[in-house]
Structure 1
Amino acid sequence: MQFRILGPVEIHDERRGLRIVPTGSKQRILLGALVVKAGHLLSYHRLIDELWGEHPPANPANALQAHIARLRKLLEDAGSTGQERIDTHALGYQLHAGPDATDAARFHRLSAQGRAVVTTDPARAVRLLRQALALWRGPALQGSLGGDICQAEAAQLEENRLVALETLYDASLRAGLHHEITGELEELTSDNPVRERFYDLLMVALYRCGRQAEALGVYERARMRLVNELGVEPGPALRRRVQSILSQARELGAPAGQPSPAAVIGSVPAARAARGGPAPQGGAVVLDLGDELARLRRRLDRLSQEQELLSRQFDRLSARTAAAR
């Protein structure tokens, strides 16, 4: 038997291929809370608060007991043995489950194994992290976010998922898989517009694909989103990344055995033909890219100057406003 919380809460009997989903919202919240705290005693008061919050029923203890009885019946229907059951104690209830009986536990185990070999065996890290992320079927504890127990766990699991994604694409870059991940990273920057690490990884992937101008465009897009969403400029890591791309820093190069960005550019003379012009000769594409990089550098310098002027103007107006009060 496995309890699944990386998506809608459900019970899964792997031997029979049986999937059981509690029908009522209170049942789902109760199962979610017990699974999150499996192996730990949950008091009656905490479970009542998780299910009903500030509006409990007239007899909350009896209502909770009825929901527990229904959950026990579901566990029996799923082939529960002595290991997976809900115990009653003087102070509350406790769910017993094996160490790997939840998809969240398997996710954490596979993620940890992947992180452990990112630097030594990045290809294996990619496989392990993709296995871990494949366990997700939707937002964690979907449909079970009643009280603090499930809400806090869902938020933590989502953060763990994002960290696992960051580690996956870091490992992918180390394994020389930059061509394979640019599309996925584009989606992630769109879905997580204030997560700077995804922009950083996408910039490196594009650079290694010989798409330096697009990599610099990602920085500008990130800056606009961060300013619009949070009112802040990109952090030092992202600023250092754009500078390293502008200077074509050696550490940005592809892993050993992979073509460098310049080699990729030079090997695709049809790039300009696809835009309707004649195929370049020799190093013409590299020179064209140099012009684009110079244009973007000038634009970044201009934006930096405009930001400084706006900051000074803001400080002056703020001082005047404070003096007038």
Structure 2
Amino acid sequence: MRFQLLGPLSIAEGHDAVVLKPSKPSSLLAALLLHPGSVVSTGYLLRALWDEDQPATARAALQSCVLRLRRLFTKYGVMGDVIEAVPGGYRMNADADTLDLVRFRTLVRAADGAGDAEGELYRLKEALTLWQGPLLANVPSPMLHRDEVPGLTEERLRTLERACDIELALGRCHQVLVDVWEAARRHPGRERFSEQLIEALYRTGRQSEALTEYRAVKGRLKEELGIDPGAALQRLELSILRGDDLGPAAVDRTVPLPGGPAPALTSGPAPLALTTSPAPAAAASHPSLPVGAPPRVPPVPCFTGRSAERTAIAASLASGSPGASTVVVLSGAPGIGKTALALQAAHDAQDRFPGGVFILPMTRPDGSSVTPAEAAAELPAPGAGRGRTLLILDDVTTADQVRPLLAAAAAGGAAVVTSRRGLAGLVATHGGTVHRLSTLDPVESEQLLTAALGRARVDAEPAAAQELARVCGHFPLGLRIAAARLLTRPGLRVADCVAWLAEDLPARLSLADDPRMSVPQVFARALHRLEPRWREAFRQIGHHEGLLLPSGALGDSAEAEEALERLADAGLLEEGPPGPYRIHQLLKIYARRQAREETRNPAAQAPH
């Protein structure tokens, strides 16, 4: 059992959480959890429950509230004498495994002592994922919201500032834009977020937008406070106007992070810029994820849904037999979320693999396949005595890519393999489990949008949010792209975004600053891997009406039947004999467009 304080107060077990109802016991529990392991005085608890309007029987009522809280614990399976009565008050012990606040501060302290930029960033990002919405939204204590919530919020914001500083220093300006854009809008009084946003815009070639943002900040400060921007912002504006090369971004190490000691001040004119050594070549398509034997595998941001698959994968990885490797295959359409599920499963299971988690992209950015020898060069030699290892082999194209690598996962190790193909040949020779991923259901789609956009924005337009999920076909990639567009345009209504996307699907499910975040590009890369005759068969499907394709949809020849089976194996169709094949609505629209382009230009080749 775990207590979750960084969001709505809840009690969690595994992936399930119970959000407590607003009540006096909820306020009491929050007051105790805010001071884990410390004696919380009776006077403080009385103020948490009744503020300054305490009844004459407040002390007796407090004891009654403690009893109610203990009964609540029993109801939800929290065993033992969790609340300890001590002279002067009560104490509730908690550690990093039982309270998210303790884990957050532990991770931040570990980040401060990581010694390298990557390790520090991994820990900070993992700490930030523990925050799950409005703080103590279901706790009705005015005193706690007045006296405690601002301090906790400050801890989170200092941590977020630090993480964004490091990402800028590492040159990940595109990746950090979404975070700093949202933070600058939500917290306009913190100039550092505005400075980070303006710097990120300028470093990504968006000079005019950076200057527009600066002028908006300057105007707001002048109107609301009668002051000019700080010296750092003014220097940044001057550099942008002159077109200066800013050089490597600097990280201020003189600002202490929450949960850790303040670092010693250093002499000199400015903080030193962070540097990092080059990552292995196999890490190219996952620059924010560790390869080799990193300290920790971070959770996937805003990961939701797939609870049945996560549970099944966790069980498979936990049941490895000595001397043999466990194989888990995740297959499905391009953009369906295979990689995200594999990385989240690695995060969930990493404590079972003391030999390390090795994340190996098996396809290069240009679409060519990584050879088994190239991938093996990133792994420890078999029998190196490192303990169980977990391999994440991402975007595998053939079973032959995988077989030579499984020796590295032997001795009870495991491999999670993602592929658009079913890899039946691999399963036939090495066994294992297969999970064919489908689109998210409507509830899971809403959960993803809520995790990405925040509950307030989804609740403000619930019908539009549901329509957004439908227009995106409940495709995880499409939903994340739409959410990113909304996050970077805080004034854009969800309904207006839906209408704009629907006018040109799936072409508008793309982000201009990252070609990997594009539904049509992902579809095009999947199609380009096929032989020309199978590409042509896919385009022919664009002429077919409806989403169901009977076995004779492309004709009655053996080659037509094989074409449907090849397309299904490539993740472009689903199901098949004895029932009909099905094509997802976004893929059908894409196939129809491909067919129209072929009609206009018969000599056109398949997209690259």
TM, length-normalised to structure 2: 0.39
Report deviation, 1:58: 4.0
1:57 deviation in Å? 3.0
State the distance in 1 between where 2:82 and 2:184 align: 42
Shift in Å, 1:115: 4.1
Taking the TM superposition and a 5 Å limit, the aligned residue runs for 1:66-105 are: 66-82=64-80, 85-98=82-95, 100-105=97-102
Equivalence for 2:171: 176
Q: 2-side partners of 1:193 and 1:18: how far apart?
A: 35
- State how far apart, in whole Å, the 2-side matches of 1:181 and 1:78 are: 39
Aligned-pair identity (%):
36
Asked if structure 1 preserves the Cα contact closer than 8 Å seen for 2:37 and 2:93, the reply is yes
Amino acid at match of 2:70: R
Say which of 215, 218, 233 aligns to 1:238. Answer: 233
CA contact (8 A) 1:13 1:78 kept: no
In structure 2, the gaps of 5 or more residues are 250-274, 279-608
Distance 1:3 1:250, change over 3 A: same
Whole-Å separation in 1 of the counterparts to 2:182 and 2:144: 30
Q: Supply the distance in 2 between the matched residues of 1:240 and 1:111 (Cα, whole angstroms).
A: 30
TM-fit CA distance, 1:145: 5.4
Task: Give, in angstroms, the shift of residue 34 of structure 1.
Answer: 0.8
Residue identity matched to 1:114: A
Moved more, 141-150 or 72-81: 141-150
2:203 alignment partner in structure 1 = 208
| Residue 44 (structure 2) pairs with residue 46 (structure 1) | yes
Instruction: Work out whether residues 13 and 79 of structure 1, in 8 Å CA contact, stay in contact via their aligned partners in 2.
Output: no
Say yes or no: does 1:23 pair with 2:18: no
Cα shift readout 1:232-262 (whole Å, capped 9, x = no counterpart)? 21111111111222334444457899xxxxx
Residue 6 of structure 1 pairs with residue 6 of structure 2:
yes
In the aligned structure 2, how far is the partner of 1:18 from the partner of 1:179?
Answer: 34
Q: Please say if residues 27 and 139 of structure 2, whose CA atoms lie closer than 8 Å, have aligned partners that are also in contact.
A: yes
User: Are residues 1:108 and 2:105 paired?
Assistant: yes
Shift of 1:139: 2.4
Higher helix share: 1
Counterpart Cα distance in 2 of 1:22 and 1:180: 35
Which SS does the other structure have where 1:42 is aligned? strand
Aligned residue number for residue 301 of structure 2: none
Distance 1:225 1:208 in 2: 24
Other structure's SS at 2:83 match = strand
- 5 Å-filtered alignment, 1:159-198, equals 159-198=154-193
**Residues 96 and 106 in structure 2, CA contact (< 8 A), matched pair in contact too:** no
State the shift of 1:30 in Å: 0.6
Stretches of structure 1 lacking an aligned partner (at least 5 in a row): 258-325
Contact between 2:96 and 2:103, CA under 8 Å: does it hold in 1? no
1: distance between equivalents of 2:143 and 2:234?
Answer: 37
- 1:245-256 aligned at under 5 Å gives the runs 245-252=240-247
Q: CA RMSD in A?
A: 2.5
Q: Distance in 1 between matches of 2:43 and 2:197?
A: 47
Alignment of 1:170-319 (within 5 A): 170-252=165-247
Give the aligned residue type for 1:105: V
1:97 and 1:33 mapped to 2: Cα distance?
Answer: 13
Is the CA contact (8 Å cut-off) linking 2:94 and 2:102 kept in structure 1? no
Q: Is the 8 A contact 2:8 2:134 kept in 1?
A: yes
2:117 to 108, 113, 122: 122
SS at structure 2 position matched to 1:88: strand
- Give me the whole-angstrom Cα distance separating, in 1, the residues matched to 2:196 and 2:96: 34
The structure-2 alpha-carbon separation of the partners of 1:196 and 1:76, relative to structure 1 and needing over 3 Å to count, comes to same
1:215, distance to aligned residue in structure 2 (A): 1.6
Aligned position for 1:290: none
Cα displacement (A) at 1:101: 2.6
Q: Distance in 1 between matches of 2:182 and 2:139?
A: 27
Distance (whole Å) between structure 2 residues aligned to residue 13 and residue 2 of structure 1: 6
Greater RCO structure (CA 8 Å; 6+ sep): 1
Aligned equivalents of 2:109 and 2:42: distance in 1?
34
Counterpart residue identity of residue 172, structure 1: E
